[in-house]
Chain A
Amino acid sequence: MTVSRPKFGVIVFPGSNCDHDAYYTLKHVLHQDTRFLWHKNSSLEGVDVVILPGGFSYGDYLRCGAIARFSPIMKEVISFARAGGVVLGICNGFQILCEAGLLPGALLRNECLTFVCKFVHVRVEHAATRFTSVCASGEVLEIPIAHGEGNYFADESTLDQLERNNQILFRYVEQDGSITQRANPNGSVRNIAGIVNEGGNVMGLMPHPERASDPVLGHTDGQRIFLSVMKSVVSDEYIHDYTGAERS
């Protein structure tokens, strides 16, 4: 299903702190119709894409994301996702999606046991998805991470299934695209940085694309993920207009 002008909704949990960043990127850098959605509300207000932003929802004093998933709005997000709606969970948003059962696996404490904030390289594993369609398979993006619990874990059979279904969309790699232990900033199993659900409409990603989208800040690789999402929900005509406008 496509729409002419996609509407983005950024969920605000108490303790979300990248909500404004996602909003700013979508609204002011990419000029999208974007609104905040308050966690106590029980309506998604007709948005086409839901963003679960980074931060420390409810302080993350329990397991990360464990409480946020019980927010009133999450009921709506879950049914939206089950109906095929596009959901992107970034960092804490990824953790919430795992807790909510929309994505398999869990995010454990970083292997180094400390919070890590830095730019990393991630490789696009499959370009034929709603979240990566403007990228090429194998393309390496430079996007920052900032988390204490981004160490992705799932059991072997789940991982094999993710591989078989092409659900692993991003892996931590060296600049040249090679997978090494050194390139893995948090100990994630099989260097996983982002995965998508079986339906291909729900993605969880530890790196922060919104932090690498504004040209003023010097990095724009993150835009490619948002542009892919935009492309997946709008008509071809709109995308043409959009990229045309950007070029001029």
Chain B
Amino acid sequence: MIKTISEAFEPKVDIELALKHGLIEEEYEKILSILGRVPTYTELGIYSVMWSEHCSYKNSIAELKKLPRSGERLLVKAGEENAGLVDIGNGYAIAFKIESHNHPSAVEPYQGAATGVGGIMRDIFTMGARPIAALNSLRFGDLANPRTRYLLKGVVKGIGDYGNSFGVPTIAGDVYFDECYSENPLVNAMAVGIVKHDEIARAIAKGPGNIVMIVGSSTGRDGIHGATFASEEISDESESKRPSVQVGDPFTEKLLLEATLEVIRAGYVVGIQDLGAAGITCSASEMSAKGSCEMEIELDRVPIREKEMTGYEIMLSESQERMLLIVLPSHEQDVRQVFEKWDLRCQTIGKLKEGNALRVNYKGERIAEVPAQSLVLGGDAPVYYRESKEPEYIQHLRKFDPNSLPEPTDYNESLLKLLESPNICSRRWIISQYDTMVRTNTIIDVIGDAAVIRLKEFEKALAVKTDCNARYVFLNPYKGAQIAVAESARNVVCVGARPLAITNCLNFGNPYKPDIYWQFKESVRGIADACNVLNTPVTSGNVSFYNESPDGSIYPTPIIGMLGEINDVSKVISADFKNKGDIVLLLGQTIGDIGGSEYLKVIHGKVCGDAPSIDLYIEKRLHEACLEMINLSIVKSAHDLSEGGLAVALAECSLFAFAKGKSLGASISIPRPMRTDFALFSEDQSRILVTASETNLPKIKEISQRHQVTVRMLGEVIQDRIEVREKINLSVREASIAYYGSLERKVGVSS
């Protein structure tokens, strides 16, 4: 039995203390049986963070295993390394991943968001990949609420300051506003990196005799129990958890990036993992468990930035910009030299041995000795199958009869209202605070559905996008999650990219509540089905539960990050109208499913009905048809129909052109006879608006027919006006005033 002198100064370990650490009784019993004794205070801390939801995925892993996680282009399976890896040819791979930083951002928006970016970047470069793009998916409450405005400003500034200084372009994302996120905003950060196959680094501790080095920033008390904090609901006490929020230093991260890539490329590194959630504890135990090696750490050697830190604190600190390296002893000096060159700390803190324990020594005592396998996912970390039950609201909201709604009397007014809705209006105020162009790869003129970056390494480009309309998921988790995948795929298709793979960040409420768990299960089922049909396996992901405040849970929000591949960058198209006289065509079927639409919410103040229908096979055929048209260069623009339906998509094509200095609109008729508001504003899925020269119409029809995709000629591109026969007649200028500047007006800044 381990007995430490410091025990005199530490709290007594018993079931009560374990409960305070967020463990449940059966988990504490399990620790006692694994160790055969009462854990030390440090050990209790270690188990509590490693078995927290955030690190162990204990309440989600059983479901996550149902996702398609392999494919011919995937180099590692989801969950195996810090991020997913997709082969893109020529000996290169793309590493990409999305992760949440919701709870920290709820109490400290600036640092919470900044360190969210920092954390996901480290996940990418710890694999040896150079980050080439950042994205983010954000959810906030109602902008009329001053706290929402404070959170939005802080989060955007945090993301911008970190990414801009670090030097990665923030090129895409999505932002939605809904009351359900008022107390619990969502901040999901995604990063994309590129790595040569033979320079991929792994998160593994193997080779007895190899040494363990900690590099980067020193260790302080910031972020202790961040992982545990992320695994409970937001409450009035959350404010007191502000010290659990880490503080970011993008400058150090930039140096750490360069130094890390240098040592990996030089071949000095056996294994490497960034120190994120649960700090040294998590990286040391995960790497040892994976490499089936024993790791012994001397905490006295860890560079610390605060006085009199305890071993417990050093093990659990989530200080940012740190990495743990496993290095051959013969390269210790080489590694040291590289980090010195970059003015970074680099310290040997331990070594590997035969065995399987994680041993921690501090001030002449052994303060922890636990089997590494017992801590980790896939080892002895608990796995739970939670009870699930369809919530009552689902059937209740579906009883809604859309025909009971009055039709608008003024369609111009309805469209303008939608264009200035915070969920539709221009995000220029946000995006302009991000450096979108650093690294000179961004094809900046691609305005529209997805962002495009070319690769300098060889001729190819990538399209990326995040997406999730959580209102659909709320109304129908299975369909809503399918739509999130389908829409993000459609987005990259619209610029000419073939969807390759996804990463996902599953943001839900408390999994111990059966109706929340039902939302989760159904969503995972929807993602799995969509990914299977669209051939976009899940490469990586993150689960964020407990997104609840005393007012209730957020909408279930499974964010999808899509990666698409473009072989010929010269074929890329954007969504803006190009030339007067071009024909406007709609690919896909208009049904008039108005449930869950932005129109219902903004014009009628209702969130009800069912999510729009989706047929994944129709979706897939639409992608094939659209990609064929883009690759033949017979369409000039393509834009996905989403929030606000056909009318908003039409106006957006015109407004995107307006941003490029052209005043082009369109004159169209509605696609099918039906209630005009349903035809114009329904958010029926699997539809893309394209424009083309009239001469290409026969070819477009032929391709559509071959792929069994409905195509309908709606009208033509005209100068200055947006017209829908007999219903809408607006000047592009009027529409632009509603669309551009709306967010600025709501946030209260000048545009």
Quick check: B569 and A14 within 8 Å, CB to CB?
Answer: no
CB closest chain-B residue, reference A214: B440
Quick check: A24 and B456 within 8 Å, CB to CB?
Answer: yes
Contacting residues of chain A (195-228) with chain B, CB-CB under 8 angstroms: 208, 210-211, 213-214, 216-219
Q: Quick one: which of A56, A114, A115, A217 contacts B440, CB cutoff 8 A?
A: A217
CB closest chain-A residue, reference B161: A115
Quick check: A217 and B165 within 8 Å, CB to CB?
Answer: no
Quick check: B442 and A17 within 8 Å, CB to CB?
Answer: no
Chain A residue contacts of B249, Cβ below 8 A: 59
Bound form: Cα–Cα A28–B250 in Å: 29
CB closest chain-B residue, reference A208: B437
> Does B231 interact with chain A (Cβ within 8 Å)?
no
Bound form: Cα–Cα A18–B342 in Å: 17
Contacting residues of chain B (397-449) with chain A, CB-CB under 8 angstroms: 431-445
Closest Cβ of chain B to A7, distance in Å, is 21
Contacting residues of chain A (113-154) with chain B, CB-CB under 8 angstroms: 114-119, 144, 146, 148
Chain B residue contacts of A55, Cβ below 8 A: 165, 167
Known: A115-B161, A217-B454. A14 touches B251 (CB 8 A): yes
Quick check: A18 and B569 within 8 Å, CB to CB?
Answer: no
CB closest chain-A residue, reference B156: A114
Interface centre among B342, B435, B442, B443 (most CB of A within 10 A): B435
Q: List 30 A-B contacts (CB under 8 A).
A: A14-B254, A14-B255, A15-B254, A15-B255, A20-B439, A25-B440, A55-B167, A56-B165, A59-B249, A60-B165, A61-B251, A114-B432, A114-B433, A115-B160, A115-B164, A115-B432, A116-B432, A117-B432, A117-B434, A117-B435, A146-B435, A146-B438, A148-B164, A175-B661, A210-B440, A211-B438, A216-B569, A217-B441, A218-B443, A219-B444
Quick check: B437 and A146 within 8 Å, CB to CB?
Answer: yes
Q: Digitize B37-66: 1 where CB-to-A-CB distance is under 8 Å, 0 elsewhere.
A: 000000000000000000000000000000
Quick check: A21 and B165 within 8 Å, CB to CB?
Answer: no
Closest Cβ of chain B to A224, distance in Å, is 17
> Does B750 interact with chain A (Cβ within 8 Å)?
yes
Q: Quick one: which of B161, B442, B661 contacts A217, CB cutoff 8 A?
A: B442
Quick check: A218 and B445 within 8 Å, CB to CB?
Answer: yes
> Does A58 interact with chain B (Cβ within 8 Å)?
yes
Contacting residues of chain A (159-195) with chain B, CB-CB under 8 angstroms: 175
> Does A112 interact with chain B (Cβ within 8 Å)?
yes
Closest Cβ of chain A to B426, distance in Å, is 13
Chain A residue contacts of B750, Cβ below 8 A: 112
Quick check: B440 and A218 within 8 Å, CB to CB?
Answer: no
Quick check: B454 and A59 within 8 Å, CB to CB?
Answer: no
Closest Cβ of chain A to B636, distance in Å, is 15
Chain A residue contacts of B545, Cβ below 8 A: none
CB closest chain-A residue, reference B252: A59
Interface centre among B432, B443, B750 (most CB of A within 10 A): B432
> Does B681 interact with chain A (Cβ within 8 Å)?
no
Bound form: Cα–Cα A210–B442 in Å: 13
Quick check: A18 and B251 within 8 Å, CB to CB?
Answer: no
> Does B157 interact with chain A (Cβ within 8 Å)?
yes
Q: Quick one: which of A14, A15, A21, A144 contacts B439, CB cutoff 8 A?
A: A21
B-side interface mostly: loop
CB closest chain-B residue, reference A118: B432
Quick check: B445 and A14 within 8 Å, CB to CB?
Answer: no
CB closest chain-B residue, reference A210: B440
Chain A residue contacts of B165, Cβ below 8 A: 15, 17, 55-56, 59-60
Chain B residue contacts of A58, Cβ below 8 A: 251
Quick check: A117 and B436 within 8 Å, CB to CB?
Answer: yes
Known: A14-B342, A17-B254, A114-B433. A146 touches B569 (CB 8 A): no
Known: A17-B165, A21-B439, A115-B435. A217 touches B251 (CB 8 A): no
Contacting residues of chain B (137-172) with chain A, CB-CB under 8 angstroms: 157, 160-161, 164-167
Chain B residue contacts of A21, Cβ below 8 A: 438-440
Quick check: B433 and A17 within 8 Å, CB to CB?
Answer: no
> Does B387 interact with chain A (Cβ within 8 Å)?
no
Q: Quick one: which of A28, A117, A144, A175 contacts B433, CB cutoff 8 A?
A: A117
Chain A residue contacts of B334, Cβ below 8 A: none
> Does B615 interact with chain A (Cβ within 8 Å)?
no
Contacting residues of chain B (552-593) with chain A, CB-CB under 8 angstroms: 569
Known: A14-B255, A17-B165, A56-B251. A216 touches B454 (CB 8 A): yes
Bound form: Cα–Cα A214–B439 in Å: 12
Q: Quick one: which of B250, B252, B433, B749 contacts A116, CB cutoff 8 A?
A: B433
> Does B300 interact with chain A (Cβ within 8 Å)?
no
Closest Cβ of chain B to A152, distance in Å, is 19
9 closest cross-chain pairs (CB), A and B = A17-B167, A59-B251, A56-B165, A21-B440, A146-B435, A218-B445, A117-B435, A115-B433, A211-B437
Contacting residues of chain B (311-356) with chain A, CB-CB under 8 angstroms: 342-343
CB closest chain-A residue, reference B434: A117
Closest Cβ of chain A to B113, distance in Å, is 14
Chain B residue contacts of A118, Cβ below 8 A: 432
Closest Cβ of chain A to B262, distance in Å, is 13
Contacting residues of chain B (232-264) with chain A, CB-CB under 8 angstroms: 249-252, 254-255
Contacting residues of chain A (75-98) with chain B, CB-CB under 8 angstroms: none
Contacting residues of chain A (14-61) with chain B, CB-CB under 8 angstroms: 14-15, 17-18, 20-21, 24-25, 28, 54-56, 58-61
Contacting residues of chain B (338-380) with chain A, CB-CB under 8 angstroms: 342-343
Bound form: Cα–Cα A28–B750 in Å: 40
Quick check: B157 and A15 within 8 Å, CB to CB?
Answer: no
Closest Cβ of chain B to A130, distance in Å, is 24
Closest Cβ of chain B to A180, distance in Å, is 15
Bound form: Cα–Cα A112–B165 in Å: 19
Bound form: Cα–Cα A112–B744 in Å: 12
Closest Cβ of chain B to A67, distance in Å, is 11
Closest Cβ of chain A to B642, distance in Å, is 25
Quick check: B444 and A217 within 8 Å, CB to CB?
Answer: yes
CB closest chain-B residue, reference A218: B445
Please name 6 further chain A to chain B contacts, defined as beta carbons within 8 Å, in addition to the given A18-B167, A18-B438, sorted by A numbering.
Answer: A17-B254, A25-B440, A60-B165, A117-B436, A146-B437, A208-B437
Closest Cβ of chain B to A141, distance in Å, is 15
Chain A residue contacts of B749, Cβ below 8 A: 112
Chain A residue contacts of B251, Cβ below 8 A: 14-15, 56, 58-61
Closest Cβ of chain A to B152, distance in Å, is 12
Contacting residues of chain B (244-303) with chain A, CB-CB under 8 angstroms: 249-252, 254-255
Bound form: Cα–Cα A214–B437 in Å: 12
CB closest chain-B residue, reference A146: B435
Closest Cβ of chain A to B435, distance in Å, is 5
Chain B residue contacts of A217, Cβ below 8 A: 440-444, 454
Contacting residues of chain B (444-461) with chain A, CB-CB under 8 angstroms: 444-445, 454, 456
Closest Cβ of chain A to B700, distance in Å, is 25
Interface centre among A54, A117, A211, A214 (most CB of B within 10 A): A117
